[in-house]
Amino acid sequence: MPELPEVETTRRGVAPYLEGHRVESVVVRQPRLRWPVPPDLAELLAGQRPREVARRGKYLLIGFGHGTVLVHLGMSGSLRLVPRDQPPGRHDHLDLVLDSGLALRLTDPRRFGAVLWQSPGEVHQLLASLGPEPLSENFDAGCLQRACKGRRSPIKQLIMDSKVVVGVGNIYANEALFAAGIHPKRAAGRISPQRLERLVVEIKTVLARAIEQGGTTLRDFVGGDGKPGYFSQQLMVYGRAGEPCVRCGAPLREIRLGQRSTVFCADCQR
């Protein structure tokens, strides 16, 4: 699944080609995604110019003067800029056709993605309960300490809770916990403030480094500019079960937490 760095990479890739350009038409080939595409989307967007392309968690927000298009890439979706007359593939479900001669094309083999509409002055229900952005000043040691207080749930599941902090997906939760030396199953409420402070630093560091590298290429993800991410070459634990730990050489272990693959070093993470 594309995670926050991949979505941010996509945002940066497509924004210069969208902002200020007029949408000439909208082509919806498959309206049945995770949620139905608004039936009046073409009417809402034709002739309008996106003012900005922002991101909230894993949602891309294409802002117009009269509302916002929310795009979620689901499990295997991607956005690409293609020539407007390029024939669509089997899984190319929606195009925003631009006056530049390009089209922003949503490809989503599994159809778990979404294209939705947010009216001005409203906050879509999918965004209303989201926690702070992990790279913002609002996410700090105090914020995480308050979220962990009295909690018995494993720390990995807590930092992946979008109500606590948005966008810390499975890959980067694994990596941040390893960097911080914290066992993924440790009860959140039993971690010292000092260790939580380090975890915040490592979450920010891992995500920022992944964004710099263009996201992580895993299976279906390709950045909005057609270039893959390269952070997968720097993964310390994720996807490396059974391989030696880069720190101590012990074999990395894999367990399931919340139905997610969790890889860690039993010697380095306590």
Average pLDDT, integer, range 176-196: 98
pLDDT at 229: 63
**Residue 146 counted as an annotated binding residue:** no
Catalytic positions, written as ranges: 2-3, 58, 260
> What is the number of other CB atoms lying within 10 angstroms of the CB of residue 85?
8
Residue 258 lies in a domain: yes
To the question of whether residue 80 is assigned a binding role by annotation, the answer is: no
Mean pLDDT score, 166-179: 96
Q: Is position 93 within any domain?
A: yes
Clarify whether residues 32 and 68 are in a common domain.
Answer: yes
Question: Buried b / exposed e across 154-163, counting CB within 10 Å, b at 16+?
Answer: bbbbbbbbee
Task: State the total domains in the chain.
Answer: 2
Query: Is 91 annotated as belonging to a binding site?
Result: yes
CATH number at residue 215: 1.10.8.50
Separation of alpha carbons 31 and 56, rounded Å = 23
Query: How far apart, in Å, do the first and last CA atoms of the chain sit?
Result: 28
Mean pLDDT of the 131-137 span: 97
What is the model's pLDDT at position 51?
97
Cα–Cα distance, 56 to 58 (Å, whole number): 6
Whichever domain contains 68, its CATH number is 3.20.190.10
Give me the percent of the chain exceeding a pLDDT of 70. Answer: 93
CA–CA separation, 70 and 60 (whole Å): 6
Walk across the sheet containing 102-107 and list its strands: 23-28, 92-98, 102-107, 78-83
What is the reported pLDDT for 221?
A: 46
Domain boundary among 96, 128, 160: 128
- 3 falls in which pLDDT band (50, 70, 90)? confident
Orientation of helix 193-212 relative to helix 170-180, angle to 10°: 130
pLDDT of residue 242: 98
76-108 pLDDT, tens digit per residue, is 899 999 999 999 999 999 999 999 999 999 999
Could you list the residue range(s) of the whole structural domain that residue 83 is in?
A: 4-128
Residue 15 to residues 20, 134, 140, Cα–Cα distance (Å): 10, 21, 28
- Domain end marker among 69, 104, 128: 128
Tokens at 37, concatenated? 């595409």
Q: Does residue 31 form part of some domain? A: yes
| Residue 14 sits in the same domain as residue 101 | yes
Q: pLDDT at position 218, please?
A: 46
Query: Over the stretch 11-30, which tens digit does the pLDDT of each residue have?
Result: 998 999 999 999 999 999 99
CA distance 205 to 198: 10
Q: What is the pLDDT of residue 223?
A: 58
User: Amino acid identity of 10?
Assistant: T
**For the segment 235-260, what is each residue's pLDDT rounded down to a tens digit?**
999 999 999 999 999 999 999 998 89
CB burial class (10 A; 0-12, 13-18, 19+) of residue 145?
middle
Residue 59 domain flag: yes
Average pLDDT over residues 38-46: 97
Q: What pLDDT does residue 232 have?
A: 67
Residue 156 to residues 145, 183, 212, Cα–Cα distance (Å): 14, 8, 24
Is 109 inside a domain boundary? yes
Residue 209 or 158, more confident: 158
Check whether 217 has a pLDDT greater than 60.
Answer: no
**Quick check: is 270 in a domain?**
no
Last residue of a domain, one of 62, 97, 128: 128
Task: Look over the chain and give the mean of its residue pLDDT values, rounded to a whole number.
Answer: 93
